[in-house]
Amino acid sequence: MMAECISEEELWSRFRSENDASARENLILKYMGLVKYVVDRLSMRPPSTIEYNDLYSCGIIGLVSAVDRFDPSLGNKFQTYAVCRIRGEILDESKRMGWVPRPLYKKNIEIEQVFASLQAQLGRPAEEEEVAEAMSIELGELQQAITDYSRASLASLYDIVSGNQGEDEEVYLIDLLGDPDTEIAESVEREEMEHLIAIEIDGLPEQEKKVVALYYKENLTLKEIGVLLRVTESR
């Protein structure tokens, strides 16, 4: 495995130009947290017969596909692209397992194809307004289609889930959402967000990394940071 000091840019370069298997592995490992980020937001929602590990496996397939297909030369952020691929792989599996009605699935495929086509043309992620215009539909109709598909992919709040409250008592997801233990879920979400922020920071130039670290971790003011950086640079 490669040394951690190798930059992400260098990893992409080695993978793309030399088909370096070690660089590919490091890129996958580097962004494995994105799989957890997506899966944890979906794992409470599909029917309870779907195991977390099944979703996670689908997410890994999506991440690997994202690494293999991503083109850094286009100037897009890998994180954004990867999250779409991971989520798409999971939702594709949801169709294969019968979670989503076929008409909604077909409509979503059409929407995703237009998003992808416009991104290729524009060199950036397409806006919903642009997609709606390309499909000759109203923006509200597009947003409703996306919402309908998302809702169909997720469980009802009244789906029965497993619980520890007795064999004869049915526990519903909505009951769990009102539990004080949701503070734990909020804490996990904060940790995941911090992880994603760390991923973003890791891609910043060294000087900007210092500024962010001093501002958020050391609680220095921007003025204090400016003075500190000028002193260290003059040495």
Which has the closest alpha carbon to 137: 148, 147, 128? 128
The set of long-range contacts for 57-60, using a CB threshold of 8 Å and a minimum separation of 24, is 58/89, 58/90, 58/92, 58/93, 59/35, 59/86, 59/89, 59/90, 60/32, 60/35
Q: What's the pLDDT score for residue 106?
A: 77
Domain boundaries, the chain: 8-97, 102-159, 188-229
Q: What's the pLDDT score for residue 223?
A: 67
Q: What's the pLDDT score for residue 75?
A: 74
Phi and psi torsions of 29, nearest 5°: -65, -40
Burial class, 6, CB count within 10 angstroms (exposed 0-12 / middle 13-18 / buried 19+): middle
- Is residue 85 within 8 Å of 110, Cβ to Cβ? no
Q: What's the pLDDT score for residue 158?
A: 41
Which has the closest alpha carbon to 215: 207, 205, 225? 225
User: Cα–Cα distance between 26 and 173 in angstroms, integer?
Assistant: 38
Tokens of residue 158, six digits: 């009244």
User: Cα–Cα distance between 85 and 63 in angstroms, integer?
Assistant: 7
Q: What's the pLDDT score for residue 216?
A: 61
Mind listing the pLDDT tens digit for each residue in 162-189? 444 444 455 444 444 344 334 434 544 5
* Single pTM value for the model: 0.45
Helix (H, G, I), strand (E, B) or coil at 34: helix
Dihedral in degrees, nearest 10, Cα atoms 101, 105, 107, 113: 180
Helix (H, G, I), strand (E, B) or coil at 171: strand
Q: What's the pLDDT score for residue 132?
A: 92
> Beta partners for 161?
171
- 8-97 — its CATH code? 1.10.1740.10
What's the average pLDDT block by block, 10 residues per block, for the chain (235 residues)? 66 88 88 83 53 78 90 80 83 65 76 84 83 92 79 48 46 41 45 58 69 65 66 43
